[in-house]
Amino acid sequence: MRLGVLDIGSNTGHLLVVDAHGGAAPLPAYSYKQPLRLAEHLDDTGAVSETGIEALAAFTRQALVVAEDKGCEEMLAFATSAVRDATNSDAVLAHVSEVAGLDLGVLSGEDEARLTFLAVRRWFGWSAGRLAVFDIGGGSFEIAGGPDEAPDVAWSLPLGAARLARDYFGGAAPDDEAIRELRREIRAQIARDAGHLIRAGVPDRAAATSKTFRSLARICGAAPSGDGPLVPRSLSREDLADWIPKLIPMSREALADLPGVSPSRSHQILPGALVAEAAMDIFDLDEFEICPWALREGVILERLDQIPVLG
């Protein structure tokens, strides 16, 4: 069957069209996306601004047209932390429904972590053993771990790269005090519930997914995306520690010139790097293996699991 997966994230709206059936990996057929930057379209009360709401509704309406043009039989549509945490979340969803004719589901942070874990487990397989999965989004940071397809532990923290860039840097060049304060806050929040994962022991494999982790790995020397998803990629704690002092004084333009960094996300690289480094330190991990599958694939896989297998 041909599925449309509409992911309204904190940074980007992304429609992924896939050909999928039980027992096979989802095959991407078409991608349509737009930088919505909802995490940065919040007012002082935590509500999505009128500009952000209109951009979201217009994108959703166009995404439905694209999905129909590409022959999608079914649409799986969901929003994550930017809409979930907005103080006017209900109004945002109602406006999108009225303008675009589509009801967006809203995933909880735990469900984000759980579905991302499922995707990573299926990618690496059972040989990965006890698996720990980390995902830095625009609005939140998900952590999950366990030996099975469903994680034993899964939780979400408000440590997304776009959220942190907005709250701590506000578009200005970060000074030493802002970085120190951000670093302290990141580590305190991760450490608060770290025991959920640590009590199970050192994972056999630690994996990371999301655009932020892919960009950091590319900066640190991983293969470019053009080499394909099957090329092994990793991000080491040592390489990241070497790069963070170099990232701090760089302008947004200089950051955007780094390999794997897009101009629209350049200001998020440093906060993302601080979250990644903190996770490695607190969980005592030397490296993350980068997984090309993430939340969207997890949503697809869970849907495929609901389809009866014909004998």
Over the chain (311 residues), the average pLDDT of each successive run of 10 is 95 95 88 92 92 96 98 96 96 97 96 98 97 96 97 97 91 84 97 95 94 97 95 98 96 95 94 98 97 96 80 49
**Strands, sheet with 131-136, edge to edge from the N-terminal-most edge strand:** 153-157, 141-146, 131-136, 205-209, 287-290, 234-236
Q: Which CATH superfamily is domain 2-106 in?
A: ATPase, nucleotide binding domain (3.30.420.40)
Residue 149 Cα distances to 19, 41, 56, 137, 287, angstroms: 22, 35, 33, 22, 22
* Closest by Cα among 203, 287, 283 to 240: 287
AA letter at 299:
V
Specify the domain boundaries for CATH 3.30.420.40 within the chain: 2-106
Q: Is the distance from CB of 135 to CB of 151 less than 8 angstroms?
A: no
Which residues touch 41 (CB under 8 Å, ≥6 apart)? 48, 49, 51, 52, 55
Specify the domain boundaries for CATH 3.30.420.150 within the chain: 109-296
pLDDT at 171: 67
Could you say which DSSP state residue 166 is in?
I
* Closest by Cα among 73, 22, 25 to 309: 22
Q: Is the distance from CB of 63 to CB of 101 less than 8 angstroms?
A: no
The arrangement of secondary structure in 109-296, i.e. its CATH architecture, is 2-Layer Sandwich (3.30)
d(CA 281, CA 61): 43
pLDDT at 188: 98
C-alpha neighbours within 13 Å on the C-beta side of residue 170:
5
Vertex 55 angle, CA 213 and 2, to 5°: 65
pLDDT at 308: 65
